[in-house]
Amino acid sequence: MSERRIYMNSVGNCRDLGGMVTAEGHVIRNGKLYRSAKLSSAGAEDIRILQDICHLSLVIDLRSSGERQERPDVDIPGTEHMDLPVFDGIAPGVTHDQKSDHERYLADLPPMEDFYRWMIENEDMRNAIAGILHVITEHDEKEGSILWHCSEGKDRCGVVSALVLAMLGVSEEDIMSDYLITNETNFAKGEIAYERSLAQGMPEDTAQRVRDMILAKEEYMRAMFEAVKRNYGSFEEMFTTVMGFTAEDIRDFRARMLEEA
């Protein structure tokens, strides 16, 4: 599925959800839903791609206020920009503020699985994500496409993307496959962080944990899947019981975003 990647000079981990197939055999329409890492370094050619190839009309920034202040998104003419953080503040390994020494602040790591569970079980985070999903599902695709991003396009962006795909009826296996495409970008970053950690005198197991925080790992997303099932029974139950969607809302979103194979 990595052929869905959109390659740019200074915007990483960008891909179109279009082309993914649902469990019932429908296909997500191309050029409607995009995910990526931060847009703060986008140059003129990147902006041209986002405008002329992706046809963006809305960007959702999932990062904290501190991240946005330090690395603000570039302006993309003709595109609306919305700041919709999953949470505000610093979470080691998830937010990426310039004031932090990346390897050292990752040295005392909470399990990443916990963070993925929190995005489902913590009421404030879950409500924030519900609001983001409503913006995505209610966006008028006739005006152009929509893109959401965090810093690396891995954790916050990964969970939002997983939930969008689940709402469209994509299987957990294929949601996981899309999530792991991030490692095509992040594998080298993880190895660099690992080597730097060792050079700073960190123990081997700590250096490995630093590397793992940068990678997309199955156990992280699996923790989110399990939290949904444990708390709500299914994705659809979660969408309709605590996220404010009706069955009709979900049918409408699928009707607009899916086509026959």
Report pLDDT digits (tens) over 4-43.
999 999 999 999 999 999 999 999 999 999 999 999 999 9
Instruction: Specify the pLDDT at position 92.
Output: 46
Report the chain's mean pLDDT, rounded to a whole number.
92
Residue 223, pLDDT > 80, answer yes
Which three-class secondary structure state does DSSP give residue 10?
coil
Lowest-confidence segment of 5-9, 102-106, 226-230, 236-240 by average pLDDT: 102-106
| Tens-digit pLDDT profile for residues 68-92 | 999 999 999 999 999 999 998 655 4
Q: Where are the alpha helices (H) located in the chain, listed in sequence order? A: 44-48, 65-70, 102-105, 112-121, 123-138, 156-168, 172-180, 183-199, 204-214, 218-232, 235-241, 247-257
Tokens 């924030």 sit at which residue? 128
Give me the mean pLDDT over the 97-119 stretch: 70
Report the pLDDT value the prediction gives residue 108, as an integer from 0 to 100.
59
Is the distance from CB of 94 to CB of 156 less than 8 angstroms?
yes
pLDDT value at position 12?
94
| pLDDT exceeds cutoff 80 at 110 | no
pLDDT reported for residue 93: 46
Q: What counts of helices (H) and strands (E) characterise the chain?
A: 12, 8
Top CATH class of 2-259 equals alpha beta
SS3 77: coil
Strand partners, 6: 14
Percent of the chain with pLDDT over 90: 80
Give the residue-averaged pLDDT of 41-55: 97
What percentage of residues in the chain have a pLDDT greater than 70? 91
Residue 82, SS3 per DSSP: strand
Distance (Å, whole) CA 183 – CA 163: 20
What per-residue confidence (pLDDT) applies to 205? Answer: 86
Residue 193 pLDDT grade (very low, low, confident, very high; cuts 50, 70, 90): confident
Q: Please tell me the predicted confidence (pLDDT) of residue 99.
A: 44
pTM attached to this predicted model: 0.92
pLDDT of residue 208: 87
- pLDDT: is 62 or 213 the higher one? 62
| Domain parsing of the chain, residue ranges | 2-259
Q: Are residues 110 and 92 in contact, defined by beta-carbon separation less than 8 angstroms?
A: yes
Tell me what pLDDT residue 111 has: 86
> What is the reported pLDDT for 3?
74
- The pair phi, psi for residue 80, each rounded to 5°, is -75, 145
Return the minimum-mean-pLDDT range out of 63-67, 103-107, 171-175: 103-107
